């Protein structure tokens, strides 16, 4: 018998999928790979940075040997100059999940991009196309006043979104303000309406959600620091330098705004020195982990596991019982 919670789907006989969710540097990929070794399953990446080709070291992308043994879908699918939305992810993931279950295999979705998990289960909020004049006005205001001002403005009209959106996430701050200025409704209100219109239980799969959330924040910070230092030794700066020299990328692109890449890009641009870059990257990664854990605590029917005390054998045994 298993002590894992299964979240209901559309019906009692809906196929089961596994979500391996968690903060950065908590061992999500290792657990997913271990599951693939014992059960017929297909790995689907839920990571907004792993979609980019040539961005390998700073995203902690599995190496080629690992990917050959256990292929991950939705990795290396676009160029860093391109954009990949949560809506595109949902469409791609649902297609891959259907193919996996039709082949009598279990889809295993693994990653830390909580917006992707949320959109996959609940759908996209029905937001209108903002008038070009509004977008231009917000862009001008951001250039004139600066992003700290814009984030504070968002905090006044939509404190829930301001808490969720990082002050450095310029694209999402501007998008939230564009919606408010155009419609008079906040991003939070749009999402609330979506939640009323679509229950999570309309999702066509039952879900076993495993959330790796560490109790010891100090230990997580150590893991984050060790991982960044390893990336730097492996040539992370050189990886970003190759992107920097391309000439068709800039700091406001989603790919370059990824944690670690944003700080390394600013270092190469001369905004600050190496030591400051390293410290800023560690802080930004820790802040990302905090936001991920905040999202996870709101997830329904989650199986919370401390990755530092993770008993992989027990988890695999429980999953085998439920999925066999």
Residue 314's pLDDT is 93
Q: Does residue 7 fall inside a structural domain?
A: no
Contact criterion met (CB below 8 Å) for 106 and 41: yes
Q: Which residues pair with 224 in a beta bridge?
A: none
Q: Give CA–CA dist 8/16, Å, rounded.
A: 9
Determine, yes or no, domain membership for 5: no
Residue 172's pLDDT band (boundaries 50, 70, 90)?
Answer: confident
For position 195, what pLDDT does the model report?
Answer: 66
Mind listing the pLDDT tens digit for each residue in 194-241?
A: 766 655 447 899 999 999 999 999 999 999 999 999 999 999 999 999
Residue where a domain stops, chosen among 152, 176, 196: 196
Q: How far apart are CA 106 and CA 17, in angstroms?
A: 6
Longest CA span, the chain: 61
Residue 238 in domain? yes
* Whether residue 48 is found in the same domain as residue 104: yes
Please indicate, yes or no, if residue 191 is contained in any of the structural domains. yes
- State residue 265's pLDDT score: 98
Classify residue 231 by burial, with Cβ atoms within 10 Å: 0-12, 13-18, 19+.
Answer: buried
> Tell me, what's the pLDDT at 198?
58
Residues 21 and 141 in one domain: no
CATH of the domain at 176: 1.10.20.140
Whether residue 92 sits in one domain with residue 160: no
Q: What is the pLDDT of residues 71-124, one digit of tens each?
A: 999 999 999 999 898 889 999 999 999 999 999 999 999 999 999 999 999 887
Domain boundary among 169, 196, 223: 196
115 and 234 within one domain: yes
**pLDDT for the residue 10:** 84
Of 167, 196, 225, the residue at which a domain comes to its end is 196
Whether 97 and 34 map to the same domain: the answer is yes
Q: What is the pLDDT of residue 196?
A: 66
Q: Please indicate, yes or no, if residue 259 is contained in any of the structural domains.
A: yes
Residue 313 lies in a domain: yes
* Per-residue pLDDT tens over the stretch 8-63: 988 889 999 999 999 999 999 999 999 999 999 999 999 999 999 999 999 999 99
Q: What is the mean pLDDT of the chain?
A: 92
Same domain, 100 and 245: yes
Q: Is residue 214 a part of any domain in this protein?
A: yes
In this prediction, residue 166 carries a pLDDT of 79
Q: What is the CATH number of the domain that holds 22?
A: 3.40.50.300
Are 210 and 186 in the same domain?
no
* Domain limits for position 168: 132-196
What's the total number of domains in the chain? 2
Establish if 10 belongs to a structural domain. Answer: no
Q: pLDDT for 261-294, tens place per residue?
A: 999 999 999 999 999 999 999 999 999 999 999 9
């Amino acid at each position: 018998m298993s002590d894992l919670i299964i979240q209901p789907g559309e019906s009692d006989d809906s196929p089961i999928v596994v979500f391996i969710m968690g903060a950065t540097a908590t061992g999500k990929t290792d657990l997913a790979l271990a599951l693939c070794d014992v059960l017929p399953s297909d790995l689907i990446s839920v990571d907004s940075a792993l979609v980019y080709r040539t961005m390998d070291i700073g995203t902690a992308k599995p190496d080629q040997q690992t990917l050959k043994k256990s292929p991950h879908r939705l990795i290396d699918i676009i160029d860093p100059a391109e954009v990949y939305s949560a809506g595109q992810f949902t469409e791609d993931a649902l297609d891959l999940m259907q193919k996996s279950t039709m082949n009598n295999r279990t889809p295993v979705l693994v990653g830390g991009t909580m917006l992707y998990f949320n959109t996959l289960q609940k759908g996209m909020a029905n937001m209108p196309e903002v008038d070009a004049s509004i977008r231009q006005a917000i862009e001008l205001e951001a250039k004139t006043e600066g992003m700290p001002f814009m984030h504070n403005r968002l905090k006044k009209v939509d404190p829930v979104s301001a808490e969720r959106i990082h002050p450095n996430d310029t694209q999402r701050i501007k998008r939230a303000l564009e919606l408010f200025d155009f419609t008079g409704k906040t991003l939070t209100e749009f999402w609330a309406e979506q939640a009323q219109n679509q229950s999570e239980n309309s999702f066509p799969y039952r879900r076993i959600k495993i959330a790796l959330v560490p109790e010891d924040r100090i230990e997580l910070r150590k893991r984050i620091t060790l991982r960044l230092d390893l990336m730097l030794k492996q040539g992370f700066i050189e990886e970003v330098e190759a992107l920097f020299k391309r000439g068709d990328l800039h700091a406001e692109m989603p790919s370059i705004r990824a944690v670690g890449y944003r700080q390394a890009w600013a270092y190469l641009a001369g905004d600050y020195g190496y030591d400051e870059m390293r410290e800023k990257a560690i802080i930004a990664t820790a802040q990302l982990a905090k936001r991920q854990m905040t999202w996870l605590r709101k997830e329904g029917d989650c199986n919370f596991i401390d990755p530092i005390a993770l008993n992989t054998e027990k988890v695999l045994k429980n999953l085998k019982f439920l999925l066999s």
